[in-house]
Structure 1
Amino acid sequence: MDIGIGLPSTIPGFTGAEVVEWSRRAEAEGFSSLAVLDRLVYGNGDPLTVLAAAASVTVRIGLATTVLVAPYRPSATLLAKQAATVDHLSGGRLTLGLGVGGRADDFEATGASYHDRGQRFPALVKEMRAAWSSPEIGPAQPSIPILLGARADPAIHRVGELADGWIATGGRADMFSALAPKVHESWAAHARPGSPRMTAIAYFALGAQGADDAREHLLDYYDFLGEFARFTAANALTTPEAVRDAVDAFTAAGCDELVLHPCSANPDQVTLLAKALS
């Protein structure tokens, strides 16, 4: 199983210098990808802009959105061009994880409709793929892998139709295991060859302040979800042993890549995570 690491751009107060140092360390330590999360009405960075910065200081490591919320963006074609540009600048390293989102205020901020976001989502994905196949959009005609981030059955059932794989967002291997068969069922129902790319995300914060950093950040970031925020904070990986146990559990569950998102912007977290995995 590959191990990716999230960039600290979701941590309010993060700096460009931290993103640069984090990216360089992550590539040097051998992580499979650098990943970003997406919110609009929050003190985070724009995901594709942050990935462009990471691309400029790395040469090998993959770049991924896990996930980017497509339906609150005004134009799927514009989003397709932005993603194609990051992919082009990075030499074809982008994987685009997409989701429908769950915060009404993000949609209100752009004037996009919130309540029909799920119904609009398939057309958005198809419009993006059409844009990538058009020589008029440029800067290239990429073949960017699309993964769907989903927990609800209707969204999971779209994986076989729309995507190249799935991102489990619950943070625990047992939740991954419970939903993974539905992904494979969707894949088979659409007669797709091979197997879907099976990815998961979890959260970590290591060191003496790790547990406090995880609790503070996740309760704030997921405040709108109430009890789920407390669940996520309680399941953050805050010791090397917890990290290794999670890796073992996700590997056994058939996960292809586990992306560990940080709860602190300090680049030393990259080193601590690498040591925990060694």
Structure 2
Amino acid sequence: MQIGVILPSNEIGADSSAVRRFATAAEELGFAHLVVFDHVVGRPGGDDYAGRLWREPFVLLGHLAALTSRIELATGIVILPQRQTALAAKQAAEVDLLSDGRLRLGLGVGWNPDEFDALGRDFHRRGRRLDDQIDALRDLWANERVHRSVGTADERGGAEVLDGVGLNPLPGRDIPIWIGGRSAAAHRRAVTRSDGWLSNFQQHITADRDDFVAAKASLAAAAGGELPAGFGIEVWTSPGRTDEASWADEAAEYAALGVTHLSLRTDESRQVALGPPRTLAEHLALLERYAATVPLG
């Protein structure tokens, strides 16, 4: 099981130097991957989760690719149905090339209709659209010329017609696609169209075990009874909520349950109102303590 970190963009804020320091420190400490999130617009004020501070994931990961050399760069998730398919394929390919093949592209359908309205796409067709988009991404990354359409003319935003066009340069590999979400549709999409599942489970394993086991069984059922070979499963954990002495046991238990990727979320103070946001130094100190306590290799 590989252990990585989630960028706490809400808490470290708009200070670009803090973002850079967090990412490079994560790599220096030996964490295996760095996860970033995606929201394009939100409503300022109130309790709108999407209205908080979010970086643009492709731009951010392209920047971090130049500052790191080993750590995997992951999105958790990009809300692809609200984006242009060919452009997203191009952006992902470019990040993968700039990072020497370190991108893991997490995708999902999203939940905020405001973003779809702002970007001119149909919120209610987002699941079907994502299925079409995943096929188009694979096609665009593998072939010099692509002949397919994404969407239909009667939906908001219309069809995207790829008529003998392609990307240049190609990424040189089939970039790993993972799917986020807990619905039956997300489970089906994950096992039939992707390389892994972003579970979004983020409590301590003692609270989530039964739900996680049930979700894994749902995935296997959607796959016809058994998960595909090499299929990945990512879970989030918040070490700041639990006793330091339990961290290694928790990681071992996740691994025993079949988790392949464990991601540390250090910004849970704002998530569950446990206190004021952490400073960058506090985030880094938590990573350092975890790396000293739990074997990362």
Bin of the TM-score, shorter chain as denominator length: 0.7 to 0.9
> Aligned pair in 2 of structure 1 residues 30, 71: CA closer, same or farther (>3 Å)?
same
Whichever of the two has the greater Rg, that structure is 2
1-side partners of 2:125 and 2:224: how far apart?
Answer: 27
> Aligned pair in 2 of structure 1 residues 57, 192: CA closer, same or farther (>3 Å)?
same
> Aligned pair in 2 of structure 1 residues 243, 15: CA closer, same or farther (>3 Å)?
farther
Quote the sequence identity (%).
31
What SS class does the counterpart of residue 31 from structure 2 fall into? coil
Is 1:146 the counterpart of 2:177 in the alignment?
Answer: yes
| 1:36-51 → structure 2 map (5 Å cutoff) | 36-40=36-40, 41=42, 42=51, 43-51=53-61
2-side partners of 1:192 and 1:245: how far apart?
Answer: 25
State the aligned residue count. 245
Q: C-alpha offsets along residues 222-244 of structure 1, whole Å, 9 cap, x if unaligned?
A: xxxxxxxxxxxxxxx35534644
| 1:56-75 → structure 2 map (5 Å cutoff) | 56-73=66-83, 75=84
> Aligned pair in 2 of structure 1 residues 275, 82: CA closer, same or farther (>3 Å)?
same
Q: State the 1:159 CA deviation.
A: 1.8
Q: C-alpha offsets along residues 188-230 of structure 1, whole Å, 9 cap, x if unaligned?
A: 46x98523111122345x4xxxxxxxxxxxxxxxxxxxxxxxx
**Which of 244, 261, 266 is the equivalent residue of 2:280?**
266
Is 1:256 the counterpart of 2:260 in the alignment?
Answer: yes
> Aligned pair in 2 of structure 1 residues 239, 269: CA closer, same or farther (>3 Å)?
farther
What SS class does the counterpart of residue 56 from structure 1 fall into? helix
Output the amino acid matched with 2:2. Answer: D
Partner of 2:195: 164
2-side partners of 1:151 and 1:262: how far apart?
Answer: 22
2-side partners of 1:138 and 1:261: how far apart?
Answer: 36
Is 1:198 the counterpart of 2:228 in the alignment?
Answer: no
Q: State the 1:178 CA deviation.
A: 2.0
What SS class does the counterpart of residue 66 from structure 1 fall into? strand
Q: State the 1:245 CA deviation.
A: 5.1
Is 1:98 the counterpart of 2:133 in the alignment?
Answer: no
Q: C-alpha offsets along residues 151-176 of structure 1, whole Å, 9 cap, x if unaligned?
A: 00121012222101111013134232
What SS class does the counterpart of residue 157 from structure 1 fall into? helix
> Aligned pair in 2 of structure 1 residues 32, 114: CA closer, same or farther (>3 Å)?
same
Output the amino acid matched with 1:166. Answer: W
Contiguous gaps of at least 5 residues in structure 2: 43-50, 145-165, 268-277
Contiguous gaps of at least 5 residues in structure 1: 207-236
Q: Are the counterparts in 2 of residues 200 and 255 from structure 1 also a CA contact under 8 Å?
A: yes
Partner of 2:64: 54
2-side partners of 1:71 and 1:11: how far apart?
Answer: 27
> Aligned pair in 2 of structure 1 residues 12, 108: CA closer, same or farther (>3 Å)?
farther
CA RMSD in angstroms comes to 2.2
Identify which range, 265-274 or 60-69, moves more after superposition: 265-274
Partner of 2:127: 118
2-side partners of 1:124 and 1:137: how far apart?
Answer: 15
Q: State the 1:185 CA deviation.
A: 2.9
**Which of 237, 247, 253 is the equivalent residue of 2:251?**
247
2-side partners of 1:247 and 1:36: how far apart?
Answer: 21
What SS class does the counterpart of residue 280 from structure 2 fall into? coil
What is the TM-score with the length of structure 1 in the denominator? 0.80
Q: State the 1:267 CA deviation.
A: 4.8
> Aligned pair in 2 of structure 1 residues 48, 242: CA closer, same or farther (>3 Å)?
farther
Partner of 1:133: 142
Q: State the 1:276 CA deviation.
A: 2.7
Identify which range, 259-268 or 89-98, moves more after superposition: 259-268
Partner of 1:231: none
Q: State the 1:268 CA deviation.
A: 4.2
Q: Are the counterparts in 1 of residues 237 and 262 from structure 2 also a CA contact under 8 Å?
A: yes
> Aligned pair in 2 of structure 1 residues 28, 12: CA closer, same or farther (>3 Å)?
closer
Q: Are the counterparts in 2 of residues 8 and 14 from structure 1 also a CA contact under 8 Å?
A: no
> Aligned pair in 2 of structure 1 residues 270, 251: CA closer, same or farther (>3 Å)?
farther
Identify which range, 42-51 or 193-202, moves more after superposition: 193-202
